[in-house]
Structure 1
């Protein structure tokens, strides 16, 4: 915060820095600190390279094979893939609909078409949809993805793996079904952690013109930029989560209780304070219209879980099949058949710690 105020005053001529100035100052400081363009980064993230590297990663981790296969599709750009186990038996399938087009819903998501279960003594194979809105290929050139696009496809594929690699036969606990709200994002955020890993980056980048992988210098800039402002971003999420939880614990609210609770939380954890007239809570749709009432904390909690789980891969080796199969056996395959905390402890050997997340954001010194 001090750095932002200092930069605003001395470099941008904003003598009295106000809350509404901070986003502008922050972006200018980001540009000054990290001299790379999004367009430069996109040249390395060709869609075929990203998919090949991502598929190769999970194939090594979980001893599976992913193969493209012919199937009826709703658009020519849609592709269908099957997952085979180490014996070559098909255990799941998924559609990938990656490009934006007229009439298509925006955003990115994983949805299930069929869930794994036992029907009349036979196992029904799970099928998933993985949908994004990336820029489509132009002519003979492949689709070029932003870093955020790459994180998005890894994220949605994490949800897809949770759905497809389940071993449950009861519909209510198969795949993501029955998994607690505060842990359902763990497998997806877990996969995001692999993107900004140097070893993985070498497998998912292929410059559109030169064919070279991303250079270390550019990679280091991406890591540094990701951690830019991480402390402020984290306390902002803590502010939202505490406000939401305290608000829903108040069974007999007083007049103006909403604003009083928010003000009290800000005094405890915030470093930025909006003007008196600001009514952020009135537009906090996540908790009033988005299903997160008393559960907004799950955003940050899932990050704690996924970062701590990923730290075991960092300790044992990113492509370590022993650790990968343990993640499969104790987390992905379990679905909602037991409490998510039990699955985490079975994988990690202990309850989650916050240290890994703090190290990931550069807020704690790496051992």
Structure 2
């Protein structure tokens, strides 16, 4: 498996765990069901970070021919690739989220190209050519279920990065922290607001700093 495939496997495992560890016996609010869109990607994105931890990744991987452990220099190259142009990548997500919200609010009209141009004039560093028609193919918000909710990708990453920081503080592979995450987030379903689930696990409101650290911007 490539590293990208391992990240994807852990991401989908997070979704599975959200269902498997539920202690709610009403299907409409058990597991992921009924969870606010803002936090639906919290478990999945948090699990991804285990693939970016040196100790965990070294422990789970070997050279496919020699069986040698992951060299520190190669791990550093992985991190450098992850952080490459991270600022532009973050702005791109903000651009998409703002376009989605403003288009559905209708405050700038209903022409997607007009709305996108207004958003880009405020946010974008790199401007596409005039013939570019990205909004016409933005399937997430037209047929993918993320209409007026695309921002949740980035907000869930805020929660995931901050949530994983508790694992880091405890030594990453820490059973007690894992049990707390299971009890306060994975098992609860939608029996209480997702913000309360996170607050119970993290013992405070979400902090933006771990997201910036995750992307190499701090």
TM-score, with structure 1 as normaliser: 0.58
Residues of 2 paired with 1:184 and 1:339: CA distance?
A: 12
Match of 1:163 in 2: 19
- Structure number with the higher helix fraction is 2
Match of 1:210 in 2: 66
- Structure number with the higher strand fraction is 1
Residues of 2 paired with 1:282 and 1:270: CA distance?
A: 18
SS in 1 for 2:77: helix
Match of 2:194 in 1: 340
Residues 252-310 of structure 1 show CA distances to partners (whole Å, capped at 9, x for unaligned) of 836xx422221111111111111223222112111111111100111111111100100
Match of 2:45 in 1: 189
Residues 252, 308 of structure 1: alpha-carbon distance in 2 compared, 3 angstrom cutoff: closer
Deviation at 1:175, TM superposition (A): 1.3
Residues of 1 paired with 2:152 and 2:129: CA distance?
A: 28
Residues 41-72 of structure 1 show CA distances to partners (whole Å, capped at 9, x for unaligned) of xxxxxxxxxxxxxxxxxxxxxxxxxxxxxxxx
The answer to whether the aligner puts 1:227 opposite 2:83 as a matched pair is yes
Residue range with higher mean Cα deviation, 233-242 or 175-184: 175-184
Residues 225-258 of structure 1 show CA distances to partners (whole Å, capped at 9, x for unaligned) of 111111101101100000100111117836xx42
Residues 209, 178 of structure 1: alpha-carbon distance in 2 compared, 3 angstrom cutoff: same
Contact 2:108–2:115 (8 Å) recurs in 1: no
The answer to whether the aligner puts 1:315 opposite 2:169 as a matched pair is yes
Deviation at 1:202, TM superposition (A): 2.0
Match of 1:23 in 2: none
RCO higher in structure (CA 8 A, sep ≥6): 2
How many matched pairs? 218
Residues 251, 230 of structure 1: alpha-carbon distance in 2 compared, 3 angstrom cutoff: closer
- Structure 2: gaps of 5 or more residues: none
Match of 1:278 in 2: 132
Q: How does 1:1-367 map to 2 (within 5 A)?
A: 145-250=1-106, 253=109, 257-364=111-218
Residues of 2 paired with 1:225 and 1:277: CA distance?
A: 30
SS in 2 for 1:193: helix
Residues of 1 paired with 2:132 and 2:67: CA distance?
A: 51
Residues 345-364 of structure 1 show CA distances to partners (whole Å, capped at 9, x for unaligned) of 01111111111010111101
Match of 1:28 in 2: none
Match of 1:30 in 2: none
Deviation at 1:210, TM superposition (A): 2.0
- Superposed CA RMSD: 1.4
- Structure 1: gaps of 5 or more residues: 1-144
Residues of 1 paired with 2:46 and 2:90: CA distance?
A: 18
Please identify the structure whose Cα radius of gyration is greater: 1
